[in-house]
Structure 1
Amino acid sequence: MTDQQLSSLIRQMTIEEKISQLLQLAGPFFEGSESQGEITGPMEAMGVSEELVRNTGSVLGLTGAKEVIQVQEAHLKKNRLGIPLLFMADIVHGYKTIFPIPLAIGCSWDMDIAERTSAIAAAEASAAGVHVTFAPMVDLVRDPRWGRVMESTGEDPFLNSEFARAFVRGSQGTNLTQDRSRVAACVKHFAAYGAAEGGRDYNTVDMSERQMREYYLPAYRAALDEGSEMVMTAFNTVDGIPATGNRRLMRDLLRDELGFDGVLISDWGAVKEMIPHGIAANEAEAAYKAIEAGVDIEMMTLCYEHHLKAWIENGKVNESLIDEAVLRILKLKHKLGLFDNPYRGANIELEEKLILSEAHRQIARDAAIKSSVLLKNDNVLPLQEEQKIALIGPFAQNGDILGPWSWMGSKDEAVQLYSGMVDLVGSAQIDTAQGCDIETMTEAQLAEALAVAEHADVIVLALGEHSEMSGEAGSRGDITLPQVQRELITALKSLNKPMVAVLFNGRPLDLHGVYDQVDALLEAWYPGTEGGAAIADLLYGKQSPTARLSMSFPYSVGQVPVYYNHFNTGRPQGAPDAQVRYVSQYLDMPNEPLYPFGYGLSYTTFEYNEATLSSTTMTEEQPLTIKVRVTNTGNRKGEELVQLYVRDLSGEVVRPVKELKAFRRIILEPGESQEVTFTLAEEQLRYHHSNLEFKSDSGDFFAFIGGNSRDVTELKFTLTK
């Protein structure tokens, strides 16, 4: 259908039908849903009538080819103009085949893995009838207390932007109309949700516009440049106004400046939540502010439905705003091909074939291998197949390794760590005991763990957070490992045996009582469906760890937020003329994180030498070439991630002590060396000035090159303009 035909369709709609297109309801409201009978009470409480459901534009959280087809078929029989429903769902890191959480994927620094996993998630979801995924989440994160850091790819705007593009490409492909194995992406949460105060979900965000543009907007912009069809508003305030009612944010910035002409949807209940936020006195005012701000779809509240018609009739809202929103929604339905085939990709046979297929599981295994970060290794890993292993801990035989936002995944179908290890070396080499639950421990559990460990050559501890301890509404003020698990480590330490800790969690943790007690530490995150098999491959050296942190691990929660690209101060710690006391520091802990951004170990070692610049002067026309020689100094083949950072020593506003500008992945045999080359151009030195102009400054800079953001070689150059 052409835009003209869609506009003609809108002219045939009553005002009630138009407004209902702007509503999204959960699946059980709809005829044909297998759980429809469960919603009678909520329907009455919300004021949802059968007529309203008949005209509603989109469905939330209903999947499965059979059920989607039933609901769409029933809807089309009753909808006067035959306008199909859009089916949307949270397919964040996999549909049935669950991949590592996005923060783990971020640690892979691998855009191919990000794109492939998103494409597989899209294919499974599309076959199950889903049209739109509420992903990717591209919020920059610096506070691990916030449970939703697990949905982000980390603390760096450049790296997050690269992942945003990859996730959108994977979900949408190149032609949504023709490729029914893809789904529309919905980038979220616009904007700056990752900066919630105190790491507390749904909380206030307060920052300068320059800060937002410099660090938080780049990944959204990248996702939009890649063609993301939808955007979701954030729960938080931005400059004192909740995002969902923030006209300046949504119309002036998102629509006019960034050029987004797709569908803007509220998060769950966010329109009505303007009332407790304190910028709307009632639902009517909330509806007015949301439509004026440009929100096209209201998710799971009825402010639009109950009040927009009155606003139009009294002349306060122009009906053209409603027409614009409806047109954007219909355009998306047309782009997805729903007017020609309202069932689109929903296919019961294909769904059966794709879901948890061996090919998909293999990609999940590869992704988990490439996402797990080796943080410590005192010559304990890799394990030897002849060693007797005591596998102990609440995650030794636990399928809760999928993580939050894996609602269609099955813990029963996840490969547990014990199973993965037994598949490699046989059950005779592995004895196991739970040792404790995640947050409780009995004397009998501890006694069993000690007895099992007594006869082992190496103790492998499987520790972490249960999935409800992170994700949405999963904020934690104390981000240490639960106390009973630390007590288990201490008890087993008394046996004086080598200990390896494998962590399953959704955020960087305060690792006191862990890193200082164990001989090796592997951060597995929530690794997904094939997690146990992937971790076993790494523990036994069938695969080598290659991941690098995309979010810093704090030394203590008291440092939070702690991140690599921070500002200097007028009294920086360690300055040549600094006094011992009167500098910016803690008296009881270091300033620096325990494990910095970009950090990760391998089963070999690398040495950096001969770092050079092609010139000590850069101009707008002449970029610099930066070279460094990297040598594998170990006795095993390995993969290194060479990272390039820059610091502007004197800007118009304060600049970070380091900013990631590029990275290269190289694979070296033992003793092999390779020269790695980067090109650094003037445009990579640009930033937002105090007047928000985006440009570079003449002056001195440092380039840093190394294997993480801390351990680098420094090279000085000057930009002249």
Structure 2
Amino acid sequence: MTTSTIQNLMKQMTLHEKIAQLLQLASPFFKGSTEQGHITGPMAAMPISDEHIEHAGSVLGVAGAAEVISIQKTHLENNRLGIPLLFMADIIHGYKTIFPVPLAIACSWDPELAQKSAEIAAKEASVSGVHVTFAPMVDLVRDPRWGRVMESTGEDSYLNQVFARAFVRGFQGQDLANDLQSVAACVKHFAAYGAAEAGRDYNTVDLSERQLREFYLPGYKAALDEGCEMVMTAFNTVDGIPASGNEKLMRSLLREEWGFDGILISDWGAVKELIPHGVAEDDKEAALKAIKAGVDIEMMTACYVQHLAQLIAEGEIKETIIDEAVLRILTLKEKLGLFEKPYRGADVELEQQVVGHQDHLQVSRELATKSCVLLKNDHHTLPLNSNKKIALIGPFADSGDILGPWSALGVKEEAVTLKQAFEKHLPIEQLNIVTGCHVETISSQQLEEAMQAASNADVIVVAVGEDSDMSGEAGCRTNIQLPAPQLELLKALATCGKPMITILFNGRPLDLHGVLEHSDAVLEAWYPGSEGGSAIVDLLYGIKNPSGKLTMSFPDNVGQVPVYYNHFNTGRPQGAPDAQERYVSQYLDAPNEPLFPFGFGLSYTQLSYSDLELTSTQLTKDTDITATVTVSNVGNVTGEEIVQFYIQDLVGEVVRPLKELKSFQRISLKPGETKQVTFTITEQQLRYHHADLSFKSDKGSFVLYAGTNSKDVLSHSFQLISGRN
């Protein structure tokens, strides 16, 4: 079907049929659904008629080839013009095969493997009938109190861009129409949802436009430059206006400045939420503001179908604005090939073969291995010796709750737990497994059993963390320490005098006081996915060497939040040569620096950096500089290192960050091996948004940093002698 054919189809559509294309409903509304009529709570109060459903444009949340085929078949039988439905779902970090949560994936610093995970998720979702995934989420996040931290890739704009592109490539493939194993991607949440005040979901965002453009918008732009088909609006305000009714953000910036002509969809109920936000008096005004802002699809509220026709009749909007939205929706349906193949990749028999395939699980295991971050390893406690007797203790010792939020069709009972993985590795007589405590409760009997197990072991492995409900959407917390019962367990076990290894399962950076001082080694495992237990045991026994690096700083104290590596300096920086002891920018009761900085992560080997050299110390807009740093493995085992390059602009028209990540490379080094890693510095990398929002570079002095994390670096100065004005 061509554009002209779609336009001819639109000429046959009534106004009400067009408006219904803008409506997205959950699967229980549709005939053919096994859940048809199972509509409860707020959904039951929605003013939706059979006619609305028969002409609706898309379905939310359905999964399974048989279900999709049934709904689509019934819909086509009832839809006057035979316009197929779009099926959309939250496929965030896997469909049936669950990968680590996105924050963990980012800690792998492996965009190729991240892309592979998205390809597999798309393959499993598409054969199950899904056409669109609500991913990637590229919201830059600096506040670990926010529950949706787990769905982000961290605090750095450059890294967010790299992973945004990787996920879009993985989901969408090369050709949506002919590649039936792909799905359309929907980047979210536009814009700046990760900057919600106080780390509280759905809360206000208040940023300067320069800060918005400098740090928060590049991730979305990268996804769109990679060809991402859809954008989802954020729940929050931007400059005092809720995103779903924000014409400046959606029309002026997204549509006109960036040239995005794909589908813009609201988040769940966000159009009607313009009312409690206080910018719309009623459903009618909410519909008016959202359609004028350019929202094409209204998710799970009925403001459009109830009021758009009336708004046209009253002259408040023109029918052409509806036509624009409908054209974008039908164009995506055509691009996916739905007019010719309304069931697209949905295949009941093939679904059984593809979903959860062993090859997919192997990739999940590899990604989980690379995503874990070794935070502490005193006295070479790790890797473990297979001859040691292990006491495996804690609420996650035998828990399948390691998939994390937004785990689609992942089944906790099918996840490889630590217990299962240890039992495959050790004889049963070398392993004693007890719960010790639950996530938020502890009994004297549990503690007694834990102490007994620990006393009879050579090494204690404690598996602690957050229940998955403590993270994800609406999982915001002011106390980001482990729950008190788990801290009590750790403190008690430390008195046994045995080497103690703590494994952390969580969806956010934590305040680790009460953990670090009682642990000889700490491994941050996040929510590692379907093969989490196997990946962790591979690391504990040195079958694999930890290589993950943090993409979000771990605060020393929640009172520091937000704490991030690329912050600005102040007029009275702590540690300045002429600074007075008290009257500098500092806390009296905590350090300024995070507990663990961005880019941090230990290995079982030792790596040495030396000889940071530049081919020139003068850069122009027409000539580049090549930087070279020497990295050596001075340890005893092969290791992978993520070499990180940062740049600081010493003097700008506006204040510039102390460091900004500009590039990274993953290398593998055998014991005694040395490699030179190069990085090309260009004038384009030095551009930033000035006071007038122009994007350009300034002549002046810069510093290049190279190292193993954002703190432990070598440095070299250079000059930009001809900037871009």
The residue aligned with 2:542 is 541
SS of 1:39's equivalent in the other structure is: coil
Asked if the contact 2:92–2:408 (Cα under 8 Å) also holds between the matched residues in 1, the reply is no
Give the distance between the partners of 1:429 and 1:117, measured in 2 at CA: 35
Aligned mates of 2:516, 2:142 — CA distance in 1:
21
Partner in structure 2 of residue 554 of structure 1: 555
- Structure 2 CA distance for partners of 1:393 and 1:693, relative to 1, 3 Å: same
Which position in structure 2 is the counterpart of 1:86?
Answer: 86
Deviation at 1:244, TM superposition (A): 0.2
Change (3 A) 1:577 1:42: closer
> 1:661 and 1:36 mapped to 2: Cα distance?
51
Shift, 1:476, TM fit: 0.2
SS in 1 for 2:311: helix
The one-letter code of the counterpart of 1:562 is V
8 Å contact 1:43–1:49 — kept in the other structure?
no
Residue 518 of structure 2 aligns to a residue whose secondary structure is coil
Partner of 1:350 in structure 2?
A: 350
| Aligned CA distance change for structure 1 residues 313 and 665 (closer, same or farther; 3 Å) | same
Cα deviation for residue 517 of structure 1 reads 1.3
Q: Secondary structure at the match of 1:609?
A: strand
Indicate whether 1:121 and 2:121 are aligned: yes
User: How has the CA–CA distance of structure 1 residues 41 and 432 changed in structure 2, closer, same or farther, with 3 Å as cutoff?
Assistant: closer
What secondary structure is seen at the aligned counterpart in 1 of 2:646? strand
**Following the alignment from structure 1 to structure 2, what is the Cα–Cα distance between the partners of residues 246 and 42?**
25
Q: Following TM superposition, by how much is the alpha carbon of 1:164 offset from its aligned partner in structure 2, in angstroms?
A: 0.1
Q: Say if 2:108 and 2:547, in contact at 8 Å, map to a contact too.
A: yes
Preserved CA contact (<8 Å) 2:94 2:408: no
8 A contact 2:609–2:629 mirrored in 1:
yes
Q: In the TM superposition, what is the alpha-carbon distance from 1:426 to its structure 2 partner?
A: 2.9
8 Å contact kept, 1:177–1:335: yes
Q: Distance in 1 between matches of 2:249 and 2:642?
A: 37
2:325 maps to 325
1:568 corresponds to which letter in structure 2? N
- TM-score norm. by structure 1 comes to 0.99
Amino acid at match of 2:81: L
In structure 2, do the counterparts of structure 1 residues 473 and 40 end up closer, same or farther at CA, with 3 Å as the change threshold?
closer
Tell me the secondary structure at the aligned position of residue 462 of structure 2. strand
Looking at structure 2, the residues matched to 204 and 600 of structure 1 have their Cα atoms a distance apart, in angstroms, of: 33
1:620 is displaced (CA, Å) by 1.3
Which is further off, 398-407 or 617-626?
A: 617-626
Q: Is the Cα contact below 8 Å between 2:72 and 2:342 reproduced in 1?
A: yes
Q: Which amino acid aligns with 1:323?
A: D
1:485-504 to 2 correspondence within 5 Å?
485-504=486-505
SS in 1 for 2:420: helix
Q: How far 1:616 sits from its partner (Å)?
A: 1.8
Residue 224 (str. 1) matches residue 224 (str. 2): yes
Distance (Å, rounded) in 2 between the aligned partners of 1:195 and 1:37: 38
> Which amino acid in structure 2 is aligned with residue 693 of structure 1?
S
Instruction: Using the TM superposition, give the Cα deviation of residue 407 of structure 1 relative to its aligned residue in structure 2, in angstroms.
Output: 3.2
Question: Which residue pairs with 1:383 in the alignment?
Answer: 384
The Cα of 1:42 is off from its aligned counterpart by 5.9
The yes-or-no answer on 1:448 pairing with 2:426 is: no
Structure 1 equivalent of residue 647 of structure 2: 646
Give 1:435's aligned residue. 436
1:339 aligns to 2:335 (yes or no): no
- Is the 1:245–1:293 Cα contact (8 Å) retained in structure 2? yes
Deviation at 1:427, TM superposition (A): 2.2
Task: Tell whether 2:286 aligns with 1:292.
Answer: no
Question: How far off is 1:40 after superposition?
Answer: 7.1
1:313 maps to 313
Report how far residue 618 of structure 1 moved.
1.2
Q: Distance in 1 between matches of 2:32 and 2:619?
A: 65
Residue 451 to residue 114, structure 1, CA distance change in 2 (3 Å): same
Distance 1:40 1:569 in 2: 53
1:106 — aligned with what? 106
Matching of residues 388-403 of structure 1 within 5 Å: 388-403=389-404
The whole-number CA distance in structure 2 between the counterparts of 1:141 and 1:180 is 34
Q: Which residue of 1 aligns with 2:409?
A: 408
Percent identity between matched residues is 65
Check whether the contact 1:91–1:135 (CA below 8 A) recurs between aligned residues: yes
Distance 2:650 2:166 in 1: 32
Q: Which amino acid aligns with 1:295?
A: V
Measure how far apart 1:626 and its partner are: 1.0
Change (3 A) 1:390 1:264: same
Pairing 1:544-623 to 2, within 5 Å after superposition? 544-623=545-624
Q: Residues 37 and 587 (structure 1 numbering): CA distance in 2 closer, same or farther, change over 3 Å?
A: same
Summarize the Cα distance change of 1:42–1:275 in structure 2 as closer, same or farther, 3 Å threshold. Answer: closer
Query: What is the CA–CA distance in structure 2 between the aligned matches of 1:113 and 1:471, rounded to whole Å?
Result: 23
Could you say what secondary structure the match of 2:592 adopts? coil
How far apart are the structure 1 equivalents of 2:91 and 2:82?
Answer: 27
Q: 1:366 aligned to 2:362? A: no
SS in 2 for 1:610: strand
Residue equivalent to 1:132 = 132
1:148-201 Cα offsets, whole Å, 9 max, x none, are: 010000111100000000000000001000000000000000000000000000
**Partner residue, 1:256:** 256
State which drifts further: 606-615 or 106-115: 606-615
Tell me what 2:95 maps to: 95
Alpha-carbon distance in structure 1 between the residues aligned to 2:9 and 2:294: 21
* Corresponding position of 2:152: 152
Contact in 2 for aligned 1:698/1:720 (Cα 8 Å): yes
Q: Distance in 2 between matches of 1:326 and 1:489?
A: 58
Q: Could you list the per-position Cα deviations for residues 457-476 of structure 1 after superposition, in whole angstroms to 9, with x for gaps in the alignment?
A: 11000000000001000000
Structure 1's 384 and 79: CA in aligned 2 closer, same or farther, altered over 3 A?
A: same
Q: Is the 8 A contact 1:29 1:43 kept in 2?
A: no
Cα deviation, residue 500, structure 1? 0.3
Query: What's the CA shift string for 1:311-340, capped at 9, x where partnerless?
Result: 000111100000000000000000000000
Q: In 2 relative to 1, CA 271–569 (structure 1 residues): closer, same or farther, beyond 3 Å?
A: same
Amino acid across the alignment from 1:455? N
In the other structure, the counterpart of 1:237 is 237
Secondary structure of 1:608 counterpart: strand
Read off the aligned partner of 2:211 and give its amino acid letter.
Q
Q: Which residue of 2 aligns with 1:51?
A: 51
CA contact (8 A) 2:161 2:219 kept: yes
Within 5 Å, which residues of 2 pair with 1:27-66?
Answer: 27-39=27-39, 45-66=45-66
Contact kept? 1:20, 1:57, Cα under 8 Å: yes
AA partner of residue 284 (structure 2) = A
How far apart, CA to CA, are the structure 2 residues paired with 1:622 and 1:698? 14
- The answer as to whether partners of 2:554 and 2:595 remain within 8 angstroms in 1 is yes
CA RMSD in angstroms, aligned pairs only: 0.8
Amino acid at match of 2:443: T
Deviations 1:445-490 (A, max 9, x none): 0000001111111100000000000100000000001011000000
Query: Which amino acid in structure 2 is aligned with residue 284 of structure 1?
Result: K
> Residue 518 of structure 1 corresponds to which residue in structure 2?
519
Query: 1:278 maps to what in 2?
Result: 278
Q: Using the TM superposition, give the Cα deviation of residue 678 of structure 1 relative to its aligned residue in structure 2, in angstroms.
A: 1.1
Match for residue 635 of structure 1?
636
Q: Name 2:485's counterpart in structure 1.
A: 484
Match of 1:36, SS state, is coil
User: 2:497, 2:9 → 1: CA distance?
Assistant: 76
Q: 1:701 to 1:437 in 2, by over 3 A?
A: same
What displacement does 1:305 show?
Answer: 0.7
SS of residue in 2 equivalent to 1:365: helix
Shift of 1:424: 1.7
Cα distance in 1 for residues equivalent to 2:359 and 2:428: 26
Count the aligned residue pairs. Answer: 721
- Could you list the per-position Cα deviations for residues 47-75 of structure 1 after superposition, in whole angstroms to 9, with x for gaps in the alignment? 21111111110000011000110000000
Q: Which runs of 5+ in 2 are unaligned?
A: none
**How much does 1:43 deviate?**
6.0
Equivalence for 1:694: 695
Instruction: Report the counterpart of residue 167 of structure 1 in structure 2.
Output: 167
Q: Would the alpha carbon gap of residues 555 and 43 (structure 1) be closer, same or farther in structure 2, given more than 3 Å must change?
A: closer
* Secondary structure in 2 matching 1:96: coil
Q: Secondary structure at the match of 1:717?
A: strand
Q: 1:164 is paired with a residue of what secondary structure?
A: helix
Cα shift at 1:242: 0.2
Q: Distance in 1 between matches of 2:589 and 2:481?
A: 17
Alignment of 1:205-220 (within 5 A): 205-220=205-220
